[in-house]
Amino acid sequence: MAFDLPPAIMGISHSSIFLASAACVLLVSGIVWQQICVCAPEWIKELDALGQPRKQKLARTAVVCGGSISGTIVARVLADHFDRVVLIDPELDDIQKPKTRILQYNASHILLSLFADGARRLWPSFDTEMRAAGGRLVSADIQLHYSGIPVPAPHWDYPTGCFPTSLGMRRSEAQKALYGLLIQHPTSAKITVLPGTVRGVEPSEDRASIRSVVVRLPDGTHTTVDEVGLLVDCTGATQAGMKWLGSAGYSLPNNLRCSYKPNIRYATICFSVFPALESRLPIPQSPNGRLSEYAFVPHFTYGLSVTALFKLDNNKIQLMLTSSEDNLPRTVPEIIPYMSSIRGHAPFPSWLVETVELLCEHCPEPSFDNIKIPDQSYVKWHSVLAGTLPSNFIAVGDSNLQLNPVHGQGFAKAMLNAITLNSLLHSLDSGLHNLPRDFSARYFKNNAVRTEGLWDATRLHDYGALTCEPMIGESRNTGRLVRWFEVKLLTAATKHKDVAAALWRVRNLIAGESALLAPTILWKVLWTGSRF
């Protein structure tokens, strides 16, 4: 009994043991939470399987409908899994001819590093061939300025010269060069290019899969591609798969496709810069180059006036301007006055304005490409009831999900879809000949887990703008919490290197969104009062 402790002390020691163990649990779960959040996403690990051929190929023909960015990537991936791939697009008869069916063919593009990382796996000569076509392999740094305040890319996290790179090239030229890579690669022996338009599909007798594809040829006659093993909708904004399956008698839910109207105008002004002028431009030097020399993204209450300057292939410099009104310049004298109307927390640097002035003064007749961004839309194939879709139908790229282009994710998202597809195909039993009944459902499910966050983040951001028309069932109030977090995150990224690094990685699809919820990042974000 002598060793009995007085009840009060017992109480203290009980509660302190409780506190100590609670602290331990918190610490351990904090560490686990941190580890889970910062761990590389599955798709980065899966990059290594990209470009690796399957030993025993799958039966029948893989049919890729649409031969733009997604179609080119997917045809290359499928040539690793099938002996016969058919790539169909009405504009593939002459690759040098400018495409007319792609609204954004002449629009400024930035290509996030995940796109280049994937393309290098698919085409080991990617860098060499792109350079040969005039493209620049540069740091994946867009010199982001949020409302004029710099949000740095994490150069400090990489040894000098080792920052991830991506391709600085006009979209039109990148697309041609990529197609060139496709038809030069050894796997191209497996790929048949069929210039034509897919008009419809025919199901198998039990409707469990697509059996054939009907194609209209350029001369107006029709042909069918039979023995379809896998059918991939890569028709971009047309999102033709919905029509094909609907006409073939598959019952699709009415709310399969959701969309909203960002109401943004997008201007690309392209200057041809002769070398003597280029050396006079007051653009700050960067040793490895960068994707964009300057990018201004406004706070949503200031409208949607993104301004960016890109050095591209073959001495081209593009100025990209967006607006929520129809007020973008269409002639040279309108450019500087338009730029001076843009407001933010800090003005444009003087070198930017001087550079644009010099370009306007000395470059003969820049080209103007002014377009209205179409509705952003998401075809929620993953929401279709199990067993409804044909087992061998999938969609890749914009035919599945079209994001607001000002975030520059389109090419990288198509690559992410292709990584998901490739991994799923590699996971099938090596002896397997036919795709399993749930193949389509599994692809769409895996893919939705990886890309739905992009749809949510960009859409809810856009709802902050007065001119945006939300999708049915939502209002401009939807996502207020997300926008509150977004401005705090951006503020924290202007102050803390690790927050800036996490944000950059998430934006480049190198990290999953969970990286922003890691305790070391989250507390800084929540602690920092918004500057914007």
Ligand X SMILES: Cc1cc2nc3c(=O)[nH]c(=O)nc-3n(C[C@H](O)[C@H](O)[C@H](O)COP(=O)(O)OP(=O)(O)OC[C@H]3O[C@@H](n4cnc5c(N)ncnc54)[C@H](O)[C@@H]3O)c2cc1C
Residue with tokens 């409302």: 147
Total residues binding ligand X (CB under 6 A): 40
> Tokens in use for 465?
């703008």
Indicate whether 105 belongs to the interface with ligand NAG (CB under 6 A).
yes
Q: Quick one: what does residue 303 bind among ligand NAG, ligand X, none, with the CB cut-off 5 to 8 Å set by partner type? A: none
Quote the least distance from Cβ 69 to ligand X, whole Å. Answer: 4
Indicate whether 408 belongs to the interface with ligand X (CB under 6 A).
yes
Quote the least distance from Cβ 293 to ligand NAG, whole Å. Answer: 23
Q: What part of residues 85-104 is at the interface with ligand NAG (CB under 6 A)? A: 98, 100, 103
SS3 209: coil
Single out the segment in contact with ligand X by CB under 6 A; choices: 25-33, 40-48, 62-70, 386-394: 62-70
Indicate whether 106 belongs to the interface with ligand NAG (CB under 6 A).
yes
Single out the segment in contact with ligand X by CB under 6 A; choices: 236-244, 297-305, 346-354, 523-531: 236-244
Q: What part of residues 446-505 is at the interface with ligand NAG (CB under 6 A)? A: none
Residue from the set 47, 78, 89, 298 that interacts with ligand X by CB under 6 A: 89
The full DSSP string for 329-380 is --SGGGHHHHHHT---SSPPPHHHHHHHHHHHHHSS--EEEEEEPPPEEEE-
- 202 CA to centre of own chain: 32
Indicate whether 198 belongs to the interface with ligand X (CB under 6 A).
yes
Distances (CA, A) of 178 to 131, 302, 432: 12, 37, 31
Residue from the set 37, 58, 102, 441 that interacts with ligand X by CB under 6 A: 102
Q: Which amino acid is at 362?
A: H
Measure the CA–CA gap between 417 and 26, rounded to whole angstroms. Answer: 37
Q: Quick one: what does residue 335 bind among ligand X, ligand NAG, none, with the CB cut-off 5 to 8 Å set by partner type? A: none
The full DSSP string for 239-302 is -THHHHHHHTT----TTSEEEEB---EEEEEEEE--HHHHTTS-PPP-TT-BS-SEEEE--GGG
Residues 6+ apart with CB under 8 A from 429: none
Indicate whether 266 belongs to the interface with ligand X (CB under 6 A).
yes
Residue with tokens 């999102």: 239
State the sign of the Cα–Cα–Cα–Cα dihedral 172, 174, 180, 182: negative
Task: For ligand X, give the closer residue by CB, 422 or 491.
Answer: 422
Q: Quick one: what does residue 198 bind among ligand NAG, ligand X, none, with the CB cut-off 5 to 8 Å set by partner type? A: ligand X
Measure the CA–CA gap between 469 and 334, rounded to whole angstroms. Answer: 28
Indicate whether 409 belongs to the interface with ligand X (CB under 6 A).
yes
Q: Quick one: what does residue 234 bind among ligand X, ligand NAG, none, with the CB cut-off 5 to 8 Å set by partner type? A: ligand X
Total residues binding ligand NAG (CB under 6 A): 5
Q: Which amino acid is at 87?
A: L
Task: For ligand X, give the closer residue by CB, 266 or 532.
Answer: 266
Task: For ligand NAG, give the closer residue by CB, 96 or 254.
Answer: 96
Q: Residue 475: in which H helix or E strand, if any?
A: none
> Tokens in use for 174?
């990148």
Q: Quick one: what does residue 106 bind among ligand NAG, ligand X, none, with the CB cut-off 5 to 8 Å set by partner type? A: ligand NAG
Residues 6+ apart with CB under 8 A from 522: 516
Indicate whether 182 belongs to the interface with ligand X (CB under 6 A).
no
Q: Quick one: what does residue 253 bind among ligand NAG, ligand X, none, with the CB cut-off 5 to 8 Å set by partner type? A: none
Task: For ligand NAG, give the closer residue by CB, 170 or 507.
Answer: 170
Residue from the set 47, 62, 65, 339 that interacts with ligand X by CB under 6 A: 65
- The rounded radius of gyration (Å) of the Cα atoms in the chain is 26
Quote the least distance from Cβ 432 to ligand X, whole Å. Answer: 28
Residue from the set 51, 67, 229, 262 that interacts with ligand X by CB under 6 A: 67
State the sign of the Cα–Cα–Cα–Cα dihedral 68, 70, 73, 79: negative
Q: Which amino acid is at 99?
A: K
DSSP secondary structure letter of residue 56: S
Indicate whether 328 belongs to the interface with ligand X (CB under 6 A).
no
Q: Quick one: what does residue 100 bind among ligand X, ligand NAG, none, with the CB cut-off 5 to 8 Å set by partner type? A: ligand NAG
Single out the segment in contact with ligand X by CB under 6 A; choices: 146-154, 158-166, 360-368, 401-409: 401-409
The full DSSP string for 424-435 is HHHHS-TT--S-
Task: For ligand X, give the closer residue by CB, 91 or 141.
Answer: 91
Distances (CA, A) of 230 to 56, 209, 417: 16, 9, 15
Residue from the set 50, 61, 70, 190 that interacts with ligand X by CB under 6 A: 70
Task: For ligand NAG, give the closer residue by CB, 105 or 351.
Answer: 105
Task: For ligand X, give the closer residue by CB, 104 or 508.
Answer: 104
Q: How many residues does the chain have?
A: 532
Task: For ligand X, give the closer residue by CB, 170 or 488.
Answer: 170
Indicate whether 91 belongs to the interface with ligand X (CB under 6 A).
yes
Task: For ligand NAG, give the closer residue by CB, 101 or 199.
Answer: 101
3-state percent helix, strand, coil for the chain, nearest multiple of 5: 40, 20, 40
Task: For ligand NAG, give the closer residue by CB, 103 or 214.
Answer: 103
Helix axes 480-495, 519-527, angle to 10 degrees: 100
Measure the CA–CA gap between 192 and 201, rounded to whole angstroms. Answer: 19
Measure the CA–CA gap between 99 and 93, rounded to whole angstroms. Answer: 11
Interacting residues toward ligand X by CB under 6 A = 65-71, 88-91, 101-104, 107, 109-111, 197-198, 234-238, 240, 266, 371, 373, 397-399, 405, 408-412, 414
Interacting residues toward ligand NAG by CB under 6 A = 98, 100, 103, 105-106
